[in-house]
Amino acid sequence: MREDVREYYGQTLQSSSDLQTNACCDQIPPDWLKPVLAQLHDEVVNRYYGCGLVAPQLLEGMRVLDLGCGSGRDVYVLSALVGEHGEVVGVDMTPEQLEVAERHKDFHRQAFGHGKSNVRFLHGYIEQLDLLGLPDNYFDIVVSNCVINLSPDKERVLREVHRVLKPGGEMYFSDVYADRRIAEPLRQDPVLYGECLSGALYWNDFITLSKKAGFADPRLVEDRPITIANDEIGAKLAPTRFWSATYRLFKLEGLEPACEDYGQAVIYRGTVPGSAQQFMLDGHHLIERGKVFPVCGNTWHMLSGTRFREHFDFIGNFDTHYGIFLGCGTSVPFSDDAGASVGPSCC
């Protein structure tokens, strides 16, 4: 399947208009990101295939790894956000895509006002980062945009991400998920696979693999249903439902398998750039500035053990356990077509 994917993205697809479904279609960017996107080279943008936005906050000076970077769109966006003293590394298995990315390095260096380029591109597989010489505990952030579904060994991808992340670092990525496991004959269809559909993980298998790799509490940031927009392909995959979803996975010690209540709370200081009034950790944690916000023990760790620590005040400790945090559920986490939650909310 690797060769099929490489041919599909290197030769069959010449621009995003060649895609046969809307699974790999980008979302409308937030206003704060639009000025950066406007500075990108047209060829880089036209050869972009992704299903979400992978530009988390507080990236100045960070080391970032982009898995499946393709033509380099997200790499160059991130290069502007980390600044000249940060670093962005892109990994992709498609030579044709990397050629596009490489030839526009100096264009973007000048566009962002950097004295020297802060990006580099590596040819290889996202499940074999060890073969690319990427060291342990090196990156602050790992991102990926609609690519892990294309990997034949998703478990190894997550293990490698955990290895290269620093303690307190995070994986922030968008991908496609299904409401059930995809039948093997469909998984062998090169078009369905290349369109980011038949290689999609069943969402609960993703949760299991993430925890097995060391990411104890995956957090869903946002999601949207995928309509496919191709009757023939939709009929082949029916009745399976698909979502594009953004998750963040933190490499942290002390995270528990469930959200446990220790009577803790945080107060957001309103100091994260672009989020003066409220800060969104994930889809169930929109934290208003200055308001006491109760949190579970895992959320406490995610805010206190990461780059977000200086932007919060912390109330409480881990001395007394009060049981499971109210509202912590295990149903399908995604929204339905009407925008309502499919199952109960998790804290």
- pLDDT the model gives residue 240: 96
User: Tell me, what's the pLDDT at 122?
Assistant: 98
How far apart (Å, rounded) are the C-alpha atoms in residues 126 and 118? 21
Report pLDDT digits (tens) over 37-80. 999 999 999 888 777 789 999 999 999 999 999 999 999 999 99
Q: Specify the pLDDT at position 282.
A: 96
Q: Give the largest Cα separation in the chain, rounded.
A: 59
pLDDT at 53: 81
pLDDT for the residue 338: 47
> What letters, b where the CB count within 10 A reaches 16 and e where it falls short, cover 135-150?
eeeebbbbbbbbbbbb
Which tens digit of pLDDT belongs to each residue from 275-320? 999 999 999 999 999 999 999 999 999 999 999 999 999 999 999 9
Share of the chain above pLDDT 70, in %: 88
Taking the chain (347 residues) in runs of 10, the rounded mean pLDDT of each run is 55 51 67 92 88 90 97 96 97 95 97 97 97 97 95 97 98 96 94 92 97 97 90 94 96 94 98 95 96 97 98 98 80 62 45
Q: Compute how many other C-beta atoms are within 10 angstroms of the C-beta atom of residue 180.
A: 12
> What is the per-residue pLDDT for 10?
52
- φ/ψ of 192, rounded to 5, equals -60, -35
What pLDDT is recorded for position 26? 59
* Contact call for residues 223 and 178 (beta carbons, < 8 A): no
Q: What is the pTM of this model?
A: 0.89
- Distance, CA of 38 to CA of 67 (rounded, Å): 23
